[in-house]
Amino acid sequence: MAEDSRLGSHTDEELVQSVREGDERAMNVLVDRHHGVVFRTCAGILGDEDLAADASQNSFLKAFRAIDRFRGEAAFRTWLLAIAGNEARGLLRKVKQRREDALEDVDILQAEGNDPSAEVVLRSEVARVRAVLADLPEKQKLSVTLRIFDGLSFREIGEIIDSTEGSARVNYHHGIRRLRELLGP
C-alpha cells in the first residue's frame, strides 16, 4: 500500500499533470493517497461496504477519464470527492429502485439498521458508534466523518455535500450534538 517512494513526495497537482501525460504510477499514488476518504464518502452515502467499494472504483475510473476537465480551480481531492459523491448517490438511487421493484416498498437499508438481531453486534463500543453514525442524516454524517476521520475543512466539505462552508459547519455541529444525545456522555 506504500506510495511509490519517488512520486510519494509529489503534490496531487504534480501527480495529476503526470497522469495527463499517461503516467500510470502517478495514478496509483493518487489511489493510495485518496482511496480511504473516497471509500468513507461513498460508505457514508450508501451505508454498505460492498457498494461503497464499487462506487469508489468507479469514482477513480471516472475521475481519470475526465482528468482533462480538471482545471485546478479546486483541489484534486475536492474534485475527486465531488465525483465520488455523485457516483454513490447515483448507485443508491439504482439500488433503491431495484429493491423497490423486487420487494415493493421495503427499504432494506433502513430495515437492516433496525434489525433486533443486530443488537449483538452493537454491544461493542465501536460498532455502537458506527451504527448511530450511520443513522444520521446524510449531510450531518458526511460532515462529521469527513471532518473527524479525514480532517477536511468545512469549506471542502461544503463542496462535497453541495452546501456552503457555513452549512457544513452547522451540519457538523448538529451531527455531533445528535451523536452525543444518542450515545450518552
Single residue of 43, 45, 55, 92 touching another protein by CB under 8 A: 43
Residues 95-124 close enough to bind another protein by CB under 8 A: none
CA distance 147 to 142: 8
C-beta of residue 21 within 8 angstroms of C-beta of residue 46: no
Contact with another protein (CB under 8 A): which of 6, 115, 119, 126? 126
Question: Which grid coordinates are listed for 32?
Answer: 493510495
Between CA 149 and CA 145 the distance in angstroms is: 5
- Closest to 144 in 3D by CA, of 117, 114, 179: 179
- Contacts with another protein by CB under 8 A lie at 1, 22, 24, 27-28, 31-32, 35-36, 39-40, 43, 49, 52-53, 56-57, 60-62, 64-71, 73-74, 79, 82-83, 85-86, 89-90, 94, 125-126, 129-130, 133, 144-145, 147-149, 151, 154, 159, 162, 169, 173, 176, 179-180, 183, 185
